[in-house]
């Protein structure tokens, strides 16, 4: 029973010998729930999400209309192979090991630019989780434009040092190839071959389960908010050998296979356990490539300002201010220096602590234009409506794209979509159910940690009773409503590394509230009108029921003929219709 | 308007030039909300918490009864100096910079042992936040046993490299000194001087606010679950110059200052804005120093097993299994090897992938003793009751310490305390209020992210209606009840680096539920008895009201004398009392 028992009290000296570095990979290996790998089911989703994020970012950055294939193959009871292939620009060979097998490495962290990835952790973390649970390496195929061959690598993380270990490094003939399928899951046209792209494949302990937090739902929501994306999804589950009579009947020509609604995953009749679906792009225009921006002075803390002045390439404080920050003109920089009592020609690297403090204070006291907001690429009201209409059967749709706003110096923009759905035609929506909230950040669906998310808090915080929905205290409103919420920002403030929920900055909550209220008002108008119409129809039905009796009574009293009675019925109906219009 | 605009689509080559390393300190600087530094108020609490955690861990590891002073000094409108001083073993000089100015450095991460700190991030993160918001360095004074002088250092983090920068390094005469105060905040006895200890001081942007998430509450709860701790708390707020007539009246000898209840912070009459309080230790015995344990084989994944076999110092697979894991005897190790079809004398560093898989499977298929649980140091039922009774005015107290259990190979233990409080005598408790849940992990109070915590989920998940409390759907029960929940574990699965909430592992939820149900049943017995007593008293009052009228009636009918009437009243009352006993 080996055990390192405590050998009496420690001393400062004995404790010192135990202090050591902790590699960030060791840290996240032990805390992998922080990255979204806490359960086999969530791990599957997180791996897909990180890979798809990277693919879409790369395609958009390179100006390529994205085509992405997501394949999940079950290779043992609790083991899957996840493969994501894109038609992006590919990755130059010497970058592949670090991108896929080193945490905190990437191109997106040190810039302020709207993108899906921002941390340089995700895909390496997925590989590390695969390695931990199966011992297998991450396999990458990548071909860049005009390259003769594709690179084929197998890499692992040396978790003690957070460094990649290359297990295989070869070249081979390979082109990313995509096969669309039709509603029955059968090939739909010839395969599409790209001249460049990347494919990553990770084997991991995982579990597949349908539902609101499934990969199925993720790819579907991806298609809603990325109308320029063609996405192929294929799920191959292991099938248990079933008794002969339980096997699905093969489709024959006389009995054609039923074609389900287009967007529902369908099982290929020929191969049990296989589900395949293609979400075709709805538009052939790329979203605007977002600009990178410089930090806004009002979002920069004193310590960061000091660091920036130390690191600047500018030779004077004045030029440092105007070159390294957004919204600071040469004149404004001069004003700030004057206000701070600092010679604008001072070398910024030689500024003293109290001078930085004065400068910081002067910046806070100076009115500046808000950060530029053309760096944001919202989905847009029309696209949100189109996306919702494609996926949800509803009687009422509306969408709002708010003007950009700013939190902690970072521009962001809120978009809201709302649908009043027909409960019987939509899964997960009901008259007695809480409204369904679809959450997105920089066009990425967020499926976990709804309770911790500012978006959920925003929906709960609105008084929906005044818009015609019932709402329990401190809870989501009740009704057959789907609310889509999108946050676009150059830096999304996630509450954890797994990037599932947005932190509740007051500015974000405010914008959410205003957007939701606008949609709520429009919903109220619709519900009010619908209520009036239903009420009028009810009254009218009621009256109509009695018109013949009334006419018969009049006929008896006044001695009308059948023809006259008929005329009376007609007149009464006309009157009723007129009254109805005046209701 | 400087702005680095996107210059057209990127290529694989242009993207490669932008890839770079991200220092873990840069990562957490930008994501500081992950560490609990997202608002000035929370930052203050997080800094205190991290410093106190370190102090208590160090004292306990060195076998010193801890005495800790927490001082908050407001030095500007939105700026505080946080100083925490302990009588611990001190820190050897060359370790000080790394411990206080390098993230992911420490002695607690690479072991399985119950302690407050475990990540090697906390105190350096507090210093980094101070540096970011004020530009100031972290100042440390530390004296180890038998040292002539104390070391005095000022350090900062070089955030681009996650390395400490030493700004000052001197020696000086210093001894940690503690001054107890009485209920009026006046010095209570001579100061206590320790021969060793550490003091850390951080200047930071912060805000102080009373309430459930305040430092006041944190130190109070610390005292509840650490009865061996003496804790001095001093808060000095800047006072605004008030108009003369608004100034507090000075206490004179003829008008002594009111002495509030012992545990409520009090303002020193002499110095407005200053609050001081001492929580004296209730016991002079140290809690048992917890043992360090080895990993349990059933909690180790395949990838980790492969890594451990690669790193082992043992020469054979058999000895690696029995030396590096808990609960694996030499015989069990032999059994596992046989089951896996591996020669037990194989060199563990030369084992092939498929052999590790076989070994992993064999381990899973082998029955093993559960992990040792003497590594846990629970608070204990008696101490929990004492702690609750000291701080809460209530009519009923109970406590349960569950037997240890295991999640993912890690031993843990749940403790529950429950008090049925008198609403008028306790803040934050009410008949119509949700029950108050005090959460603790390894004796550290958790004040934030209650909604995301397994402990809250556990309380919500219990059916409290069957124990006599009302409970809305999916919500905390309602009533004047305080529930204390403690999780002790060699590795606490926090949901984020800020260590405020526990992840919802099924095994943890199960144990919480069982402990809460036990306390619930005891509460039900108390409430039922109280209800019966109240009911009986009500009936009796009702009867007593009519006894004189009854006697008067009898008197008139039977012609009784006054004396006889008096006797009848007495008899009736006696009968009533007898009946009451039989109710």
Q: Give me the residues paired with residue A233 across strands.
A: A70, A277
H or E element in which residue A491 lies: none
Q: What mean pLDDT is predicted for residues B164-181?
A: 96
Q: What are phi and psi of B218, to 5 degrees?
A: -60, -50
**Positive or negative torsion for Cα B557, B563, B567, B573:** positive
Whether residue B34 and residue A496 make contact (CB cut-off 8 A), yes or no, is yes
Whether residue B9 and residue A289 make contact (CB cut-off 8 A), yes or no, is yes
Q: Which of B294, B307, B491 is closest, CB to CB, to A4?
A: B294
Q: Give me the residues paired with residue B151 across strands.
A: B142, B171
For the stretch B470-482, pLDDT in tens is 998 888 999 999 9
| Chain centre to alpha carbon of residue B489 | 12
User: Residue A87: which of A211, A230, A186, A185 has the closest Cα?
Assistant: A230
For the stretch A312-334, pLDDT in tens is 999 999 999 999 999 999 999 99
The pairing of beta strand A481-489 with beta strand A436-441: parallel
User: Per-residue b/e over A77-106, b at no fewer than 16 CB within 10 Å?
Assistant: eebbbbbbbbbbbbbbbebbbbbbbbbbbb
Q: What is the model's pLDDT at position B38? A: 86
The DSSP 8-state label assigned to residue A471 in this structure reads -
Task: Return the number of other C-beta atoms located less than 10 Å from residue B1's C-beta.
Answer: 11
Q: What is the model's pLDDT at position A241? A: 54
Distance CA B330, CA A138 (A): 36
CB of A310 within 8 Å of a chain B CB? The answer is: no
Q: What is the model's pLDDT at position A469? A: 95
DSSP3 helix / strand / coil % (chain A, rounded to 5): 40, 20, 40
B519 to chain A, closest Cα gap in Å: 28
Q: Which of A11, A119, A353 is closest, CB to CB, to B62?
A: A11
Q: Which of B9, B135, B289 is closest, CB to CB, to A62?
A: B9
The DSSP 8-state label assigned to residue A316 in this structure reads S
For the stretch B519-544, pLDDT in tens is 999 999 999 999 898 888 887 776 77
CB of A10 within 8 Å of a chain B CB? The answer is: yes
Q: What is the model's pLDDT at position B578? A: 64
Q: What is the model's pLDDT at position B344? A: 95
Distance CA B275, CA B219 (A): 13
Q: Which of A12, A58, A322 is closest, CB to CB, to B92?
A: A12
Q: How confident is the model at residue A272 (pLDDT cuts 50, 70, 90)?
A: confident
Instruction: Kindly give, in sequence order, each residue whose CB lies less than 8 Å from that of residue B133, ignoring residues fewer than 6 positions away.
Output: A301, A302, A303, B43, B204, B205
Whether residue A302 and residue B135 make contact (CB cut-off 8 A), yes or no, is yes
Q: What mean pLDDT is predicted for residues A574-580?
A: 64
Using only C-alpha atoms, chain A has a radius of gyration, in whole angstroms, of 31
Whether residue B132 and residue A19 make contact (CB cut-off 8 A), yes or no, is no
Distances (CA, A) of A84 to A61, A67, A95, A551: 18, 11, 18, 73
Query: In chain B, what's the furthest Cα-to-Cα distance?
Result: 118
H or E element in which residue B487 lies: strand B481-489
Q: What is the model's pLDDT at position A563? A: 85
Q: Give me the residues paired with residue B405 across strands.
A: B412
What angle (nearest 5°) sits at the alpha carbon of residue B150, between those of residues B136 and A15? 90
Q: Tokens 């010193």 correspond to what residue?
A: B64
Q: Which of B24, B356, B503 is closest, CB to CB, to A104?
A: B24
Using a CB-CB cut-off of 8 Å, the residues of chain A touching B291 are 3-6
Chain B residues 40-99 with a CB less than 8 Å from chain A? 58, 61-64, 89-92, 94-95, 98-99
Distance CA A492, CA A119 (A): 10
Residues B362, B334 contacting (CB under 8 angstroms): no
B410 to chain A, closest Cα gap in Å: 12
| Chain centre to alpha carbon of residue A356 | 40
Using a CB-CB cut-off of 8 Å, the residues of chain A touching B306 are 135
Distance CA A134, CA B384 (A): 43
Chain B residues 528-557 with a CB less than 8 Å from chain A? none
A396 to chain B, closest Cα gap in Å: 30
Residues A395, A422 contacting (CB under 8 angstroms): yes
For the stretch A393-449, pLDDT in tens is 999 999 999 999 988 888 999 999 999 999 888 888 888 899 999 999 999 999 999
Using only C-alpha atoms, chain B has a radius of gyration, in whole angstroms, of 31
User: Quick one: A478 exposed, middle or buried, by C-beta within 10 A (0-12, 13-18, 19+)?
Assistant: middle
Can you list the alpha helix ranges (DSSP code H) found in A366-420? 381-391
Distance CA A515, CA A461 (A): 12
Distance CA B555, CA B558 (A): 5
Q: What mean pLDDT is predicted for residues A95-110?
A: 92
CB of A506 within 8 Å of a chain B CB? The answer is: no
Q: pLDDT: is A272 or B141 the higher one?
A: B141
Q: Give me the residues paired with residue B418 across strands.
A: B398, B483
User: Residue A232: which of A192, A187, A279 has the closest Cα?
Assistant: A279
Q: What are phi and psi of B80, to 5 degrees?
A: -130, 155
Can you list the alpha helix ranges (DSSP code H) found in B433-493? 454-461
- Coil, strand, or helix at residue A182? coil
Distance CA A34, CA A4 (A): 29
Q: What is the DSSP string of B184-227?
A: TSSB-SSPEE-SSEEEEEEEEE-----STTSHHHHHHHHHHH-T
Task: Return the number of other C-beta atoms located less than 10 Å from residue B252's C-beta.
Answer: 9
Instruction: Kindly give, in sequence order, each residue whose CB lies less than 8 Å from that of residue A122, ignoring residues fewer than 6 positions away.
Output: A35, A46, A49, A50, A53, A54, A499
Residues A79, A158 contacting (CB under 8 angstroms): no
Residue A359: pLDDT above 50? yes
What chain A residue is nearest to B131 in terms of C-alpha separation? A303
Q: What is the model's pLDDT at position A7? A: 58
Task: Return the number of other C-beta atoms located less than 10 Å from residue A404's C-beta.
Answer: 20
Residue A140: pLDDT above 80? yes
The DSSP 8-state label assigned to residue B281 in this structure reads -
User: Residue B520: which of B528, B532, B508 has the closest Cα?
Assistant: B528
Interface test with A, best of B204, B303, B363, B377 (most A CBs within 10 A): B303
For the stretch A215-270, pLDDT in tens is 999 999 999 899 999 999 999 999 865 444 444 444 444 444 444 444 444 444 45
Q: How confident is the model at residue B577 (pLDDT cuts 50, 70, 90)?
A: low
Whether residue B301 and residue A205 make contact (CB cut-off 8 A), yes or no, is yes
* Total beta-carbon pairs less than 8 A apart between chain A and chain B: 253
For the stretch B267-322, pLDDT in tens is 444 567 899 999 999 889 888 888 889 999 988 989 989 999 999 999 999 999 99
The pairing of beta strand B67-76 with beta strand B230-236: parallel
B28 to chain A, closest Cα gap in Å: 10
Instruction: Kindly give, in sequence order, each residue whose CB lies less than 8 Å from that of residue A35, ignoring residues fewer than 6 positions away.
Output: A28, A46, A121, A122, A125, A129, A497, A498
Q: Which two tokens stand for residue B234?
A: 């001093």
Q: What mean pLDDT is predicted for residues A178-199?
A: 94
Distance between first and last Cα of chain B: 86
Residues A236, A79 contacting (CB under 8 angstroms): no
H or E element in which residue B396 lies: strand B394-401
Q: What mean pLDDT is predicted for residues B353-366?
A: 93
What chain A residue is nearest to B36 in terms of C-alpha separation? A495
Distance CA A59, CA A63 (A): 6
What angle (nearest 5°) sits at the alpha carbon of residue B154, between those of residues B153 and B157? 125
Q: What is the model's pLDDT at position B130? A: 96
Distance CA A516, CA B340 (A): 60
Distance CA A458, CA A435 (A): 13
Report the percent of chain B where pLDDT is more than 70.
91
pLDDT averaged over every residue in chain B:
88
CB of A105 within 8 Å of a chain B CB? The answer is: yes
A234 to chain B, closest Cα gap in Å: 27
Q: Which of B11, B104, B145 is closest, CB to CB, to A12?
A: B145
Distance CA B462, CA A81 (A): 39
- Coil, strand, or helix at residue B527? helix
Q: How confident is the model at residue A348 (pLDDT cuts 50, 70, 90)?
A: very high
Q: Tokens 């403090």 correspond to what residue?
A: A357
Q: Which of A6, A119, A307 is closest, CB to CB, to B291?
A: A6
Q: Give me the residues paired with residue B201 across strands.
A: B83, B139
The pairing of beta strand A436-441 with beta strand A410-421: unpaired
H or E element in which residue A340 lies: helix A330-340
Q: Which of A87-91, A264-268, A527-531, B32-36 has the weakest average pLDDT?
A: A264-268
Distance CA B121, CA B35 (A): 9
CB of B504 within 8 Å of a chain A CB? The answer is: no
Distances (CA, A) of B198 to A272, B51, B142: 67, 10, 4
Q: Which of B64, B94, B291 is closest, CB to CB, to A5?
A: B291
Residues B140, B152 contacting (CB under 8 angstroms): yes
Using a CB-CB cut-off of 8 Å, the residues of chain B touching A197 are none
For the stretch A36-70, pLDDT in tens is 998 899 999 999 999 999 999 999 999 999 999 99
3-state secondary structure B66-82: CEEEEEEEEEECCEEEE
Q: Residue B256 — left, alpha, or beta (φ > 0 → left; ψ -120 to 50 → alpha)?
A: beta
The DSSP 8-state label assigned to residue B434 in this structure reads B
Residue A583: pLDDT above 70? no
Q: How confident is the model at residue B548 (pLDDT cuts 50, 70, 90)?
A: confident
Q: pLDDT: is A484 or A106 the higher one?
A: A484
Distance CA B416, CA B484 (A): 5
Residue A560: pLDDT above 90? no
Q: Which two tokens stand for residue A139?
A: 């396999």
What chain A residue is nearest to B305 in terms of C-alpha separation? A132
What chain A residue is nearest to B311 in terms of C-alpha separation? A160
Using a CB-CB cut-off of 8 Å, the residues of chain A touching B134 are 302-303
Whether residue B105 and residue A356 make contact (CB cut-off 8 A), yes or no, is no
For the stretch B48-72, pLDDT in tens is 999 999 999 999 999 999 999 999 9
Residue A582: pLDDT above 60? no
Q: What is the model's pLDDT at position B247? A: 44
Whether residue A120 and residue B22 make contact (CB cut-off 8 A), yes or no, is yes
Q: How confident is the model at residue B262 (pLDDT cuts 50, 70, 90)?
A: very low
Using a CB-CB cut-off of 8 Å, the residues of chain A touching B29 are 304
Using a CB-CB cut-off of 8 Å, the residues of chain A touching B449 are 452
């Amino acid at each position: 029973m080996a055990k390192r028992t405590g050998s009496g009290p420690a001393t400062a000296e004995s404790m010192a010998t135990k202090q050591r570095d902790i590699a960030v990979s060791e840290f996240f290996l032990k805390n992998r729930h922080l990255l979204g790998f806490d359960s086999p089911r969530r791990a599957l989703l997180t791996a897909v999400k990180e890979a798809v994020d990277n693919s879409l970012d790369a395609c958009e950055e390179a100006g390529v209309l994205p085509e992405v294939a997501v394949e999940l193959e079950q290779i043992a009871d609790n083991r899957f192979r996840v493969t994501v292939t894109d038609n992006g620009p590919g990755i130059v060979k010497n970058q592949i090991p670090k991108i896929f097998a080193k945490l905190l490495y990437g191109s997106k962290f040190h810039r302020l630019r709207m993108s899906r990835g921002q941390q340089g952790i995700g895909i390496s973390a997925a590989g590390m989780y695969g390695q931990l649970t199966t011992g297998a390496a991450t396999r990458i195929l990548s071909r860049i434009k005009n390259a003769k061959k594709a690179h084929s690598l197998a890499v692992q993380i040396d978790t003690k040092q957070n460094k990649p270990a290359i297990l295989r490094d070869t070249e081979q003939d390979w082109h990313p190839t995509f096969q669309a399928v039709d509603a029955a899951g059968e090939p739909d046209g010839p395969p599409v071959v790209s001249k460049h792209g990347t494919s990553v494949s990770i084997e991991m302990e995982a579990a597949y389960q349908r539902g609101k937090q499934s990969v199925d739902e993720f790819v579907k929501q991806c298609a809603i908010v990325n109308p320029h994306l063609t996405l192929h999804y294929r799920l191959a589950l292991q099938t248990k050998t079933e008794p002969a009579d339980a096997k699905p009947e093969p489709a024959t020509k006389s009995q054609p296979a039923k074609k389900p609604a287009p967007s529902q995953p369908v099982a290929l009749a020929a191969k049990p356990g296989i589900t395949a679906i293609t979400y075709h792009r709805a538009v052939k225009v790329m979203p605007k490539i977002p600009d990178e921006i410089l930090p806004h002075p009002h979002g920069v803390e004193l310590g960061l300002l000091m660091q920036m002045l130390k690191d600047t390439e500018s030779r004077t404080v004045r030029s440092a201010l105007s070159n390294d920050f957004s919204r600071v003109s040469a004149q404004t920089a001069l004003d700030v220096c004057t206000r701070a009592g600092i010679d604008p020609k001072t070398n910024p690297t030689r500024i003293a602590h109290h001078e930085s403090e004065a400068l910081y204070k002067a910046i806070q006291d100076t009115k500046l234009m808000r950060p530029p907001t053309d760096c944001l690429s919202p989905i847009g009201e029309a696209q949100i409506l189109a996306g919702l209409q494609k996926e949800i059967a509803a009687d009422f749709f509306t969408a709002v794209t708010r003007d950009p706003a700013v939190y902690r110096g970072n521009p962001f923009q809120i978009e809201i979509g709302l649908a009043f759905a027909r409960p019987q035609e939509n899964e997960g929506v009901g008259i007695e159910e809480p409204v369904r909230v679809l959450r997105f950040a920089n066009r990425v669906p967020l499926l976990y940690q709804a309770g911790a998310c500012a978006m959920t808090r925003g929906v709960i915080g609105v008084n929906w009773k005044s818009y015609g929905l019932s709402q329990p205290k401190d809870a989501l409103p009740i009704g057959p409503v789907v609310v889509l919420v999108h946050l676009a920002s150059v830096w999304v403030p996630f509450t954890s590394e797994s990037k599932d929920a947005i932190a509740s900055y007051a500015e974000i909550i405010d914008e959410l509230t205003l957007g939701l209220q606008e949609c709520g008002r429009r919903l109220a108008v619709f519900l009010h009108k619908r209520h009036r119409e239903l009420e009028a129809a009810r009254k009218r039905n009621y009256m109509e029921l009695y018109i013949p009796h009334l006419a018969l009574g009049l006929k008896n009293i006044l001695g009308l003929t059948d023809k006259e009675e008929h005329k009376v019925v007609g007149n009464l109906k006309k009157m009723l219709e007129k009254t109805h219009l005046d209701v």
